[in-house]
Amino acid sequence: MFDTGNTGFMLVATSLVMLMTPGLAFFYGGLVSRRNTLAIMIQSFVSMGVTTIVWWAVGYSLCFSGDGAIVGNLDQAFLNGVDLNTPCPLNPSIPLFVFFAYQMMFAIITPALITGAFANRIKFPAYLIFLVAWLLFVYCPFVHMVWGGGILQKWGVLDFAGGIVVHNIAGMAALASILYVGRRKVVENIPHSIPLVALGTGLLWFGWYGFNAGSELKVDSITGLAFLNTDIAASFAGVVWMMLAWMLEKKPKFVGLLTGAVAGLATITPAAGYVSTTSAVIIGCIAGIVCYFAVSLKNKLQWDDALDVWGVHGVGGVLGIVMLGILGSKLVNPAGANGLLYGGGDFFIKQLVTIVVSSIYAFGFTYAMLVIINKFTAVKTTEQEEVAGLDLTLHGEEAYEH
């Protein structure tokens, strides 16, 4: 009944995407100070547990069951009615169990991305509430609208692996978060462990092949194309970012190379299976330039986006959606759409409208949600907690012996 090749590949892809969340924890953990390493890493790891519970209970069903315009229903809550023979709704050649697990890994990493923005200044109980509420009221509706048969999918909006569903809404939520929680009392923008950042980047890059190539949900030539485009965009973006830093900051920065690669990965995500390899080169180069200057703009505006979530994931996600609207081609993938360069003006406009809608909703809801959470439990850490470090004050543990 099920294709063993496709099923086996999707299990591998699921494992790769799972590895991205520990990779993100290492990436963020290396960027913060020694006193806050565990506090930022636990926010990624706890998402693996909490999000799995939410996904099993209601998350999957809200995303992929029912035919609502905005959100699904609870028909498959707690995996109700799902057995060993239930096929995936988007590709009947694999079991629904496998698709459930694959999409769960996406749900785990998306809210974890946001944590880099409010690093060193949010309390753990508030984060746990934020995690659950954001999944239910921001992530699940956009998954349903774009991938689960909702209004945006029916309208013709495309997002191969999560430029809108993952990076754009996470980036805009990050921007809302930093504007709400304000600047850190203790600002330390020097990474305490660049090797840890490099390890995290390597795990993210490796896992991203499952993220993008796996989104085809089967093994074919588009799977290979998405895989290759992922590497091309990351490589070009990383080198371009490093060269820019070399010219403007007078040194080739390792952190710049690593950050640029992640920006390229985020930017190619919505377009990975819909554009040619030449387009992936263009997207990677533009990602390196635009995201570099987005981070520079953030610094000038004095937004305390500690780990550049908005500049890398938010701007990268938006840029990828725009570039898909320009460079998408049915000659590359008949299941895709023609972008602006191939006569697809209508498709380009749909992508732009989706950016506006998703950005406004993700920003507005996230900001309002933080205001409401703060009425029940304090969101912001105190100056004393920041000075002492959140590892000890919030968690009673230390990453390193002094």
Higher pLDDT, 353 or 191: 353
400 falls within a domain: no
> How many alpha carbons fall within 13 Å on the CB side of residue 230?
26
Output the pLDDT for position 183.
Answer: 82
Range of the domain at 150: 4-395
d(CA 177, CA 24): 19
H or E stretch covering 86: none
Higher pLDDT, 285 or 186: 285
Q: What 3-state class would DSSP assign to 92?
A: coil
Confidence grade of residue 298 (pLDDT, cut at 50, 70, 90)? confident
Q: Does the pLDDT of residue 234 top 90, yes or no?
A: yes
Q: Phi then psi for 122, rounded to 5 degrees? A: -135, 140
* Alpha carbon separation from 252 to 28, 162, 275, 398 (Å, rounded): 21, 31, 30, 32
Q: Does the pLDDT of residue 402 top 70, yes or no?
A: no
402 falls within a domain: no
d(CA 310, CA 362): 12
- Cα 338 to its chain centre, rounded Å, is 25
401 falls within a domain: no
pLDDT tens, position by position, 335-379 = 999 999 999 999 999 999 999 999 999 999 999 999 999 999 999
Output the pLDDT for position 1.
Answer: 85
Output the pLDDT for position 386.
Answer: 87
Token pair belonging to 35:
């006193």
**Closest C-alpha to 44, from 15, 21, 78, 12:** 21
DSSP state of 118: T
Output the pLDDT for position 232.
Answer: 98
Output the pLDDT for position 337.
Answer: 96
Q: Is 333 left (phi over 0), alpha (psi -120 to 50) or beta?
A: beta
d(CA 316, CA 270): 10
Q: Phi then psi for 87, rounded to 5 degrees? A: -85, 155
Output the pLDDT for position 383.
Answer: 87
Domain count, the chain: 1
**Closest C-alpha to 260, from 280, 281, 242:** 242
Q: Tokens 């190539």 identify what position?
A: 213
Q: What share of the chain is helix, strand, coil (3-state, %, to 5)?
A: 70, 0, 25
pLDDT tens, position by position, 63-80 = 999 999 999 999 999 999
- Angle of helix 124-134 relative to helix 345-376, nearest 10 degrees, comes to 140
% of the chain at pLDDT higher than 70: 100
Q: Does the pLDDT of residue 401 top 90, yes or no?
A: no
For residue 155, the domain's CATH number is 1.10.3430.10
